[in-house]
Amino acid sequence: MARPQKKVGSDFLCKLRYRNDLPPLPFAPKLVKLPDLTSRFCKYEANELVESSLHQLPADEDMGMPIDQSLITWLEKAEDEADVDQPRTMLSEEDKMLMATPADSSANAATGLTGGKGRPLVTWLRRSEYISNEDSKTATGGGSVEARFGFSARKARTTTYPDTDLQLRGIKETFKTTHLSELRHPTKPHLQAVESWPVLPDFSSWSNVYTLGQFDENPAEDKDKDQERALRQKPNEEEYQAIIDKMHKQTEHGVLRPMTIKTAKDTRENYLIWFLPDQETTERLSKRKADDLEADEEEALNFEAIRDYTYTNENYAGIQQLMLSFHEKQSDDDSTLPSSYVTYNIVKSRIVAKKKRAQNKRKMRIEEVNKPTALSITHRPLNETEIEANEKRVAEIAL
């Protein structure tokens, strides 16, 4: 008995498809330029047939021409002005009263009812689901006594100055002696004011631009490892205070420098480098501040890079943050100044700085190539452009 032969390809469930890729073209593709068919263009000329053809005028409201066919037909039949000016039927006095608009139709337009007066709006009365619909819609908030009283009280607290003279007069009124016994804390009524200080613009530093900086921790802690180890050993109160004062002095004179690097994905990354002065520069800056000395143009200040920070910049709209400085009048100050006063300046933005995350070694080597590790800062006088910009800012508050 013959053995049945096995069919080729019977072990596969699906039919096999053999696909051969076509070889690439032996030449580069070319663009064939086709000439323009100028014969398809012709010049339009009007002939007698076109001029003698009458075009129909569609008079339809949907076509944007609201023409009343009945009115046109009636005007065509009129032969003289007497037919056009037809006499009108006069209404009687009783019919005129029926056509008059009711006085309270606007209040009862939703319900279709006329007559009657709505229930007055009472703020302390709890509303109920049993109040009818027409009564709830007749009372309007604009005409209630409570609404008018609230608007008048809000208007009385608002003071407007239409011209400069009234504005100056209003500012001078605010510097008059205030009865401190009448002043109370807005949220804690048991607290009473004991002293008042006049608030004036800071003319000496108004040309400067201030930004509020917020760090996740003290940026001077990474400056000196010896200080960090000393704090971990729990020193006594005097040693602890000396270490904290040293860190505060360094932080007070720190410098933030923006940096931009190009990443592997051809994108720009912005971050900040925090620089702190060395020991010698810190002592010189602290002495200059204590003695109120001017900066020396030839003196170089040395700073060291401490840490990198990523940041987000938030701009304030209008006057939202103020920087206040309390002053005691000195002997050489202006005689018009009070004995104690406060100066203010506007803080226009805020920077929230966070420690930059550690990168891999390859990326760190790329950043270290263009990253500065030290700064040497010197002072110079202002140029004409900077002086004009400062004078323009001071002119905003000059009276």
DSSP state string for 163-214: SHHHHHHHHHHTTSPP-GGG-B-SS-TT-B------EEE-TTTTTS-EEEEE
What are the φ and ψ backbone dihedral angles of 270, each rounded to 5 degrees? -105, 135
Residue type, 218: N
Provide the H-helix boundaries in the chain. Answer: 48-52, 69-77, 81-84, 93-99, 133-138, 145-157, 164-173, 225-232, 237-252, 279-291, 361-370, 384-394
Helix 225-232 / helix 237-252 crossing angle, nearest 10 deg: 150
In a domain, 164, yes or no: no
- Domain span at residue 337 reads 199-394
Instruction: Encode 285-314: b = buried (16+ Cβ within 10 Å), e = exposed.
Output: bbeeeeeeeeeeeeeebebebbbbbebeee
Residue at 337 is within a domain: yes
**What is the pLDDT at residue 53?**
85
130 domain-assigned:
no
**Segment 9-23, tens digit of pLDDT:** 566 677 777 777 778
**Radius of gyration of the chain measured on its C-alpha atoms:** 44
Confidence of residue 72 (pLDDT cuts 50, 70, 90): low
Report residue 112's pLDDT band, with 50, 70 and 90 as the boundaries. Answer: very low
- The answer to whether residue 76 sits within a structural domain is no
Q: Is residue 78 part of a domain?
A: no
Q: Report if residue 147 sits inside a domain.
A: no
Rounded (5°) CA angle 101-102-108: 120
Residue 237 burial (C-beta neighbours within 10 Å; 0-12, 13-18, 19+): exposed
Is the residue at 96 inside a domain? no
Most confident of the ranges 54-63, 128-137, 202-211, 325-334: 202-211
What is the per-residue pLDDT across 226-240, written as a single tens digit (0 to 9) for each?
565 656 566 667 777
Per-residue pLDDT at 184: 82
Average pLDDT in the 275-302 region?
A: 81
Average pLDDT over residues 304-320: 81
Residues in a beta bridge with 262: 268
Q: How many domains does the chain have?
A: 1
In a domain? residue 67? no
Lowest mean pLDDT among 97-101, 284-288, 366-370: 366-370
- % of the chain beyond a pLDDT of 70: 62
Helices (H) and strands (E) in the chain, counts: 12, 8
pLDDT of residue 113: 47
pLDDT tens-digit series, residues 77-96: 555 555 555 556 788 888 88
For the segment 267-285, the average pLDDT, to the nearest whole number, is 84
243 φ, ψ (degrees, to nearest 5):
-65, -45
pLDDT tens sequence across 156-190: 556 677 777 888 888 777 777 667 777 888 888 88
Query: Per-residue pLDDT for 332 more than 60?
Result: yes
The reported pTM is 0.48
